Amino acid sequence: MKASYKKYILNFKQASGTSRGVLRTKETYFIILENEGKIGYGETGLFRGLSADDRPDYEAKLVWACNHIHLGLSELLVQLIEFPSIQFGLEQAFLSLGSTTGFDLFPSDFTKKKASIPINGLVWMGSETFMQEQIASKLKAGFTTIKMKIGAIDFETELKLLKAIRNQYSSKEITLRVDANGAFTPENALTKLESLANLEIHSIEQPIKHGQLKAMKELCKQTPVPIALDEELIGVFNAEVKQQIIEEINPQYIILKPSLVGGIKGSNEWIDLANKQNIPYWITSALESNIGLNAISQYTYTLGVTLPQGLGTGSLYTNNIQSPLEVVHGNIQYNTSKAWKINI
């Protein structure tokens, strides 16, 4: 078996704002396996500034993984415990190599276009006008769950935007989620959550910065808006620490980004812990290309999820990999009449 990797720069159609800054490009890497005439693809979706493996030795570790591919997937996952995105890329590549078409990693009704997955429509941070335009576009496209990133502009303006949606649509018609990306402080979080509660917000992702276990625990106890842990789960490699986070904080939800928490194996570990505490979860992509999004979507379908997932990032780029994935009326589906076109 031969392994190699390629770097690929994804270009955003429109600059997208988060509390960490404005994104115009997204750097990613593809692992390519070749064996007896077959090819397998996997994406190591490094997320600069967020991934635990955003380290100077990242590409050196990719080289190491390719040079040691003979160790097999199980051993590689152990050796690469501190490089969750590379773990996930290898999982994808091995599944791809062993699949019938190279892309049916988890054959199911989803890959046969007999079923789809409900997703939320993502509204990026920006000017009030820009965010209003996005909201209108998502509603027109048939989304019934809207997720709005907050924390970058004035909170009162963000509340105004959310109120405008709620004045037009009740919580039974449109579900509203917000993602603060840790923008609140332990001192002001509860006050802001109380303001959001008046708008019947479904949940808020990571209201305060990760790593503040006691503050987050107290916030989850008192919050009038269900809290979903996101960044809190990133960079946690020890099983005992994972258990401590889930048991101590006891959040209302957890959110799993496979590229950031150790792929399928890492996600399953968090899911097992959450299930023991009866904590619901959903899966979110982390700005991967359609190669990574395909793996995440197919894996997500196997979990039997019912909540809308965060898998709507495939249309963000001008140079994404052409794939059968498409979003129709607020659902992601695998259109078997469309073909993959790998141009990396």
Residue 140 is among the residues annotated as catalytic for this protein: no
Q: Which of these, 308, 344, 304, lies nearest to 329 by C-alpha position?
A: 308
Residues whose CB is less than 8 angstroms from the CB of residue 16 and which lie 6 or more positions away in sequence, other chains included: 22, 23, 124, 125, 316
Task: Give the DSSP per-residue string, 282-304.
Answer: EEB--S--HHHHHHHHHHHHHTT
Residue type, 147: K
Give the three-class secondary structure for 116. coil
Q: With the CA atoms of 160, 162, 165 and 168 taken in that order, what torsion angle do they form, in degrees rounded to the nearest 10?
A: -60
Cβ atoms of residues 335 and 122 within 8 Å = no
Alpha-carbon gap, residue 280 to 63, rounded angstroms: 37
Query: What's the distance, CA 155 to chain centroid?
Result: 24
State the catalytic residue, choosing from 26, 147, 149, 242: 149
State the catalytic residue, choosing from 138, 192, 242, 257: 257
Residue 149 is among the residues annotated as catalytic for this protein: yes
Alpha-carbon gap, residue 22 to 329, rounded angstroms: 28
Angle between helices 189-197 and 155-168 (to 10 degrees): 20
DSSP 8-state symbol, 184: B
Which residues are identified as catalytic? 149, 257
